[in-house]
Amino acid sequence: MVLLCPSISALKKLISICERYVEAHGLRYNVAKSELLVFRAKNKTYNVPTLKLNGTPLKQVQSFKYLGHWVTESLKDDLDIERERRALCIRANMLSRSLWTNYTQRAYGVLRTQYNNAFRGLRGLPRHCSASGMLAAAQVDSLSAIIRKRIASLLQRNKPRASM
């Protein structure tokens, strides 16, 4: 659960309402997992009083993860972009290192289309632009070229060496 409030006094009221609710329903909050984040405007400092939940002070943090996304006190998306960049890197490495040899044209076509659409999205290009044109303009290999190069590299590494 996330409580968003325009002021500390409003947050205190919401916390009080939440405390009364859980008490009335035989529930309790895990204070160890509860955190306080104050969104900060540029060049402003805030004196935030200690806020308590069930008598325990809330830990103030600079960022937290909510529904899989990082929220920061500065409202910048850098942490979330870094998380996505790492995930993309892992997936791209997996794809580029795969040497599929037994697949249907349909499965390959769907993967190729997604590769092209992802590239269009990253470059802010319209969905109807030519895939070969956009990849050539960006000097990026097509999915077919990547797979051919990987197969050639594997074959080259496994080629028997001439004995002397």
For the stretch 33-82, pLDDT in tens is: 999 999 888 777 778 899 999 999 999 999 999 998 899 998 899 999 99
Q: Which residue has the higher pLDDT, 114 or 163?
A: 114
For the stretch 72-129, pLDDT in tens is: 998 899 999 998 889 888 887 777 666 667 788 898 899 889 989 988 998 999 988 9
pLDDT score at 44: 79
Confidence of residue 151 (pLDDT cuts 50, 70, 90): confident
Q: Give 34's DSSP letter.
A: -
DSSP codes, 132-154: HHHHHHTT---HHHHHHHHHHHH
Residue from 11, 19, 22, 14 nearest 50 by CA: 11
Confidence of residue 155 (pLDDT cuts 50, 70, 90): confident
Torsion of CA 136, 138, 139, 141, to 10 degrees: -70
Cα 78 versus chain centre, distance: 10
Residue from 150, 133, 152, 155 nearest 92 by CA: 150
Confidence of residue 1 (pLDDT cuts 50, 70, 90): confident
Domain boundaries, the chain: 8-61, 98-157
Q: Which residue has the higher pLDDT, 43 or 9?
A: 9
Element (H, E) at 74: none
Q: Give 127's DSSP letter.
A: T
Partners of 7 in the beta sheet?
A: none
Q: Which residue has the higher pLDDT, 4 or 151?
A: 4
pLDDT score at 124: 93
Q: Please, where are the H alpha helices in the chain?
A: 8-24, 78-97, 105-123, 131-137, 143-157
